[in-house]
């Protein structure tokens, strides 16, 4: 995906949060190795927010069908490209969640590796999320994705807030 697609989606998310919900969010500057995801102004509320724009691709099988219909039989290269074009939404989410973990580490949150060398980061109440663009829908219908442990951390904290009221 081009950087332009992502930057445009980041702007849409920041403007939507500001215009509709009066949140003080804006696109974050590029920070390189100190990345805290794509939106700034959300950390005081306990969130790190990233944005993932979605380009529309035909499924790999539809792409191969179109190639055959056009008289271009699927070569090994065609098959490989079809696999690339149908890069799964799951793979995109997985990479986005890895970015969330790295952002928490950049905040100084502690982490350990599990038995499979996967990073387990203590979010400490800072919930990292990725706003995944939903093609053909308005911004308010986008998906907000986080890992279950981060979501449950938020659920426990919210329950405590309610109990304290």
What are the mean pLDDT values of the chain's consecutive 10-residue runs (165 residues total)? 74 97 94 89 96 68 58 54 60 91 95 92 96 93 95 93 81
Per DSSP bridges, beta strands 39-40 and 26-27 are antiparallel
pLDDT digits (tens, 9 = 90+) for 94-114: 999 999 999 999 999 999 999
Q: Could you state, in order of their start, the residue ranges of all structural domains in the chain?
A: 3-164
Q: Are the C-beta atoms of 111 and 101 separated by less than 8 Å? A: yes
Q: Got the DSSP string for 80-140?
A: HHHHHHT--HHHHHHHHHHHHHHHHHHTT--EEE-TTS-EEE--TT-EEEEEE--TTS-GG
Q: Are the C-beta atoms of 127 and 146 separated by less than 8 Å? A: yes
**What's this model's pTM, rounded to 2 decimal places?**
0.77
- In a 13 Å sphere around the CA of 38, the CA atoms on its Cβ side amount to 22
Residue 90, both tokens: 């799951």
């Amino acid at each position: 995906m081009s950087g332009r697609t992502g930057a445009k989606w980041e702007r849409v998310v920041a403007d939507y949060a500001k215009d509709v919900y009066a949140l003080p969010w804006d696109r974050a500057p590029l920070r390189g190795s100190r990345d805290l995801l794509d939106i700034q102004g959300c950390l005081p509320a306990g969130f790190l927010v990233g944005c993932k724009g979605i380009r529309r691709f035909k499924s790999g099988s539809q792409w191969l069908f179109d190639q055959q219909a056009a008289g271009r039989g699927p070569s090994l290269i065609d098959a490989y490209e079809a696999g690339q074009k149908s890069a799964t939404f799951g793979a995109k989410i997985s990479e986005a969640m890895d970015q969330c973990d790295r952002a928490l580490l950049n905040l100084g949150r502690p982490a350990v590796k599990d038995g499979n060398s996967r990073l387990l980061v203590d979010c400490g109440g800072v919930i990292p999320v990725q706003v995944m663009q939903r093609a053909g829908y308005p911004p308010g219908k986008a998906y907000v994705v986080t890992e279950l442990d981060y979501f449950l951390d938020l659920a426990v904290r919210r329950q405590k807030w309610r109990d304290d009221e």
